[in-house]
Structure 1
Amino acid sequence: MKTLRLLTALALGGGLVLAGYYWHSNGAGWLAEADISSAAAAAERSPLYYRDPSGAPLWSAGPKKDDRGRDYLPVYDDGAAVTPAPPKAQAASPRKILYYRNPMGLPDTSPVPKKDPMGMDYVAVYEGDDTDDGTVKLSPGKIQRAGVKSEPVARRSIRVSVKAPGTIQLDERRVSVIAMRAESFVQKVADVTTGTRVKAGQPLMEIYSSAVASAAAEYLATITSKTVGGVEMYGRGSRQRLVNLDLPESVIAEMDKTHTAPVAIRWSAPRDGVVLERNAIEGMRANPGDVLFRIADTSVVWALVDVAERDLGNIAVGQSVAVRARSFPGRTFTGTIAVVYPQVNRDTRTVRIRIELANPDAVLLPDMYVDADIDTADAAPVLAIQDSAVLDTGIRQAVLVDKGEGRFEPREVKLGRRGGGYVEVRHGLADGEAVVTSANFLIDAESNLKAALKGFGEAASQATDAGPGNATGDHK
């Protein structure tokens, strides 16, 4: 019998005999007496390839060792692999197999050994492989295949961009109206039409008014009188009457200089701007209150923007705003928030804000549609993570903390503002901790699968303990 063992070992290419097992020097490992015949038959065949001894989806065309120094197992044309048997000292206390998992890392398990559609054996998961510290443990191969990426938590400035539509309006403080305060007649109108740009002091029209002529004659009589008593006080009153009739200051100054009352009063533009309205026609009669000209300075305009009520907490006076007109798609106008109107539109649930914009080339026209991009960035940096790192169930938000060595800890967090692809973390993480930013949903699915399998195992154990002999009730 000893001779037969020695010859068999020599036929296998040389080996070491120990306690009824044989160590095969070509990588087959420890073989029991019952495996001698199969190992001898395997030596006469050529392996198709070699697979990882731990069952991981790793293969090699030739003999190879894994990172723990174990030999890859040869696989032959019948799909069987020569599996080394452990020494009797190790086989005395075999570990309990919980289930078998898919060799490609798919969420598929089996309570008994089986093969996947590619013919690969399912990998056994032993008792003790799972940890009870609340972490999820993945093999390096699975992490690499899933594309898991982690990023440390850091402090950043969250840039929350609020976008809102609006329209261009004139600055109310830069609009002037020329209206008569007494019955008048328009004798002449300058070559000025609606849309014409005018300068301050530029002549617009000449009018005649009997009320203005009477007040002017009275004022001249006062300032040229030789009477000493009461002239000064009376002169101030007659001048004020001309001012009340809205007579241009330049006309009053000319009367002081020439001591002559003009027959026709020349009216000039009160400011630089654009003629928005011209109602003056030569020969017409103008009643008190009639508007003859309306002129607006368009060098500065307003953008009235409607912001959603939910964004009102991020809006403040003085914030910078980038405004883009739909008529000029490649141009941006920069302004600041001047006023937040103290009222919410009950129909649209929006709040109107006023933005002051410089308009030196007058391309922004009243009632023009614009889109505002309000930068609400806070100068103080806050703890922030990428949006993709958050697992949001609608009720709670959680992240996966990378603990190293393939362990990931699910942790609930409290979030704040979002913007620029990042979200503020107000509670649950510390500066410098690494969180998973890619493939975290796959890890979450793996965690849920393990929890479910663990629950199934506990239920089965309880059912076994409460067998027919342990059932409640009296049996007589």
Structure 2
Amino acid sequence: MNRSAVLLVLAALIIGLASGYWLAGFREGSEPSTPAEKKILYYRHPTNPSVTSPIPAKDEMGMDYVPVYEDQAPETGQAEPHPSAEAPRERRILYYRNPMGLPDTSPVPKKDSMGMDYIPVYADEETPNEANIIKISPDKIQKLGVRTAEAEQRDLVRTVRAVGLVEPDERRFHAVTLKFDGYIEKLHVNATGQSVKKGQPLFELYSPDLVSAQNDYLIARNSQSALNNANPRTQAEMENLVQSSLERLRYWGISETEIRRLEQQAEVQRNLVIRSPVSGVVMEKMAVAGMRAMAGEALFKLADLSSIWIIAEVFEQELGLISAGQTVRVRLDAYPGRTFDGKVTFIYPTLNPETRTVRVRIELPNPQGLLKPMMYAHVELAGTARQALAIPQSSVLEGGKRTQVLVDRGEGRFEPRIVRLGTRGDEWVEVLEGLKAGENVVVSANFLIDAESNLKSALESFDAPEPPPGNHADHGGM
């Protein structure tokens, strides 16, 4: 090979090497020196892509939410950007459900027997967890006789029931006493409990003072008749004397009937008849024939029973539902099937510390005398009605600290729902939390459905495999 050919080969090699270094430098200069930082749009649930969070979070099992970047397309299998990822939204927790799907819920956070946290159920969740749904076939629903009722706004009325005793009206008591001394010679009313009419004779008595007063009156009246021709001054003085003697008899309590008899007969009556001042019943009789009656001494105690009282014992927690003027319905054991209407007239200011009750006075008319003192009475007081979201009391399932209902989801699906209750009426109860107006709750056979659900859960727990030792809350010496 000649020298010129060798030089051409060397030149070609030099040019090739230079081109290779130039291309390598161009490629290195075109690539970035450090990878570009990706922008995170939001974080999604590791197993449920539809659940997202604008900030880092953990799921119920403690797993981290997966970040979703700006350059991730929907076709990569990742969740599409959440439309409201830019602003967090506070969600209200209704209750916490069992993580293993058992029909057990709690109003507060807790752990199950395996140490796993209960899962929160939020108010904005459209459908409940299917693990909590109780499914029953249509034929079994028909056999159980399941009936439902709608939660609705209605007037809630609570009736207060109490017991009481019939007592005489204290304002209608009358005591028969004398304003002078005397001796009872004859009794016309001689038995306790005897009914008397106003003006009816009670007894006859002799009194020296009364005989003297009658004599003074007759002397004054006769002297007035004898002085008809006297001067006007003398006639006026005699008229005053007659009136004074007559007023003395009235002040002593002598009835107008006896005074008229004295005027008509114009002679002193040795025995004076004492008459009843009111119509009523003899509650007490102290008068005895032949006894000496002192001035001011009570001889009879009469009670007008045309209107009576019922003293009812109302429990302390129900006292706020009662007010003066409230209508009352009364039933008595003596008259089955018959009711009497009365009115609350007074609420006593003290409470019985032994029974924790307050006495309430109820007034009833008693024109026929059917209501007798010391009768046993059953009292019903209707409280004031108010609007509230209510459900039938038969739909409520009480279970210790937990109160729940069965919500009908249709197609044989029933959801146990924890509720918070308020005022209880006669047949309906107020719902404060846990239900919305229009939802249907089971009102019959709900205990059977709940019992069947608990039985299924118990049987499934027997078939479930035992957890490995490492999953127990108690790790021994670790």
Give the deviation of 1:184 after TM superposition. Answer: 0.8
Contact 1:206-1:264 within 8 A present in 2 as well: yes
The equivalent residue for 2:198 is 200
Aligned to 2:133: 136
The 8 Å contact of residues 159 and 375 in structure 1, kept in 2 or not, is answered as no
Query: What letter matches 1:197 in structure 2?
Result: S
Using the TM superposition, give the Cα deviation of residue 350 of structure 1 relative to its aligned residue in structure 2, in angstroms: 1.4
1:7-47 CA-partner distances (Å, limit 9, x unpaired): xxxxxxxxxxxxxxxxxxxxxxxxxxxxxxxxxxxxxxxxx
2:301 pairs, out of 284, 294, 297, with: 294
Alignment of 1:362 onto 2:369: yes
Letter matched to residue 275 of structure 2: S
In 2, the alpha carbon distance for the partners of 1:131 and 1:416 equals: 24
Kindly tell me: are residues 453 and 273 of structure 1, through their superposed partners in 2, closer, same or farther at Cα, counting changes over 3 Å? Answer: same
Q: Quickly say closer, same or farther: Cα 1:189–1:439, change in 2 above 3 A.
A: closer
- Of the three residues 321, 332, 354, the one matched with 1:325 is 332
Amino acid of the structure 2 residue aligned with 1:180 = L
One-letter amino acid of the counterpart of residue 276, structure 1: M
Question: What pairs up with 1:181-196 in 2 under 5 angstroms?
Answer: 181-190=179-188, 193-196=191-194
Q: Are the equivalent residues in 2 in contact too, given 1:413–1:426 (CA < 8 A)?
A: yes
Q: Equivalent residue of 1:362, what SS?
A: coil
Residue 395 of structure 1 deviates from its aligned partner by 3.0
Match of residue 86 from structure 2: none
User: What is the CA RMSD across the aligned residues, in angstroms?
Assistant: 4.3
What fraction of aligned residue pairs are identical, expressed as a percent? 39
Partner of 1:351: 358
Instruction: Report whether the alignment pairs 1:386 with 2:392.
Output: yes
Unaligned runs of 5+ residues in structure 1 are 1-98, 102-129, 465-476
CA distance in 2, matches of 1:221, 1:135: 107
- C-alpha contact 2:166 2:377 (8 A) present in aligned 1: no
Given residue 399 of structure 1, which amino acid in structure 2 is its aligned partner? Answer: V
Contact 1:385 1:422 in 2 (8 A): yes
Alignment of 1:265-284 (within 5 A): 265-284=272-291
> Shift of the alpha carbon at 1:192?
5.1
Tell me by how many angstroms 1:387 deviates: 1.5
* Distance in 2 (alpha carbons) for counterparts of 1:384 and 1:131: 22
Q: Distance in 2 between matches of 1:284 and 1:172?
A: 29
Alpha carbons 2:181, 2:292 under 8 Å: kept: yes
Query: Could you list the runs of 5+ residues in structure 2 that have no partner in the other structure?
Result: 1-99, 103-126, 225-232, 472-478
Deviation at 1:152, TM superposition (A): 0.8
**How has the CA–CA distance of structure 1 residues 231 and 410 changed in structure 2, closer, same or farther, with 3 Å as cutoff?**
farther
* Aligned-partner Cα distance in 2 for 1:195–1:309: 36
SS class of match (2:323): coil
Asked if 1:429 is matched to 2:429, the reply is no
| Matches of 2:178 and 2:245, distance apart in 1 | 19
Find the counterpart in structure 2 of residue 340 from structure 1: 347
Is 1:157–1:377's contact at 8 Å kept on the other side of the alignment?
A: no
Structure 1 residues 198, 366: CA separation in 2 closer, same or farther (over 3 Å shift)?
same
Written as runs of structure 1 = structure 2, the 5 A alignment for 1:29-428 is 132=129, 136=133, 138=135, 140-141=137-138, 148-190=146-188, 193-217=191-215, 227=234, 241-252=248-259, 262-368=269-375, 370-380=376-386, 382-428=388-434
Q: CA deviation at 1:221?
A: 6.2
State the Cα deviation string for residues 148-190 of structure 1 (Å, max 9, x = none).
4321123444453433333222222222221112211123332
Query: Contact 1:165/1:305 (CA < 8 Å) preserved in 2?
Result: yes
Whether the 8 Å CA contact 2:309–2:363 is kept in 1: the answer is: yes
What is the Cα deviation at residue 361 of structure 1?
Answer: 3.5
Q: Displacement of 1:135 after TM fit?
A: 6.2
Is the 1:163–1:371 contact (alpha carbons within 8 Å) kept by the matching residues of 2? no
TM-score by length of 2: 0.57
Distance 1:132 1:205 in 2: 89
> Per-residue deviation at 1:229?
6.7
Task: Decide whether aligned partners of structure 1 residues 289 and 442 sit closer, same or farther in structure 2, where only a CA change above 3 A counts.
Answer: same
Aligned with 2:419: secondary structure? strand
Shift of 1:326: 3.2
1:256-296 residue CA offsets vs partner (Å, 9 max, x unmatched): 67776544322111122223333333432111222222322
Tell me the CA shift for residue 351 of structure 1.
1.3
Tell me the distance in 2 between the aligned counterparts of 1:139 and 1:353: 51
* Per-residue deviation, 1:439: 4.3
Are the counterparts in 2 of residues 414 and 426 from structure 1 also a CA contact under 8 Å?
yes
2:157 and 2:385 in contact (8 A); partners too: no
Larger CA deviation: 219-228 vs 375-384: 219-228
In structure 2, distance between residues paired with 1:336 and 1:153: 34
In structure 1, distance between residues paired with 2:213 and 2:152: 78
Question: 8 Å contact 1:185–1:286 — kept in the other structure?
Answer: yes
**Contact 1:277-1:295 at 8 Å conserved across structures:** yes
**1:375-409 alpha-carbon deviations (Å, 9 max, x no partner):** 32434454321112223334343333334345545
The alpha-carbon deviation at position 208 of structure 1 amounts to: 2.5
Amino acid at match of 1:435: V
Cα separation, 2, equivalents of 1:413 and 1:232: 89
**1:398–1:263 Cα change, 3 Å:** same
Report the count of equivalent residues. Answer: 336
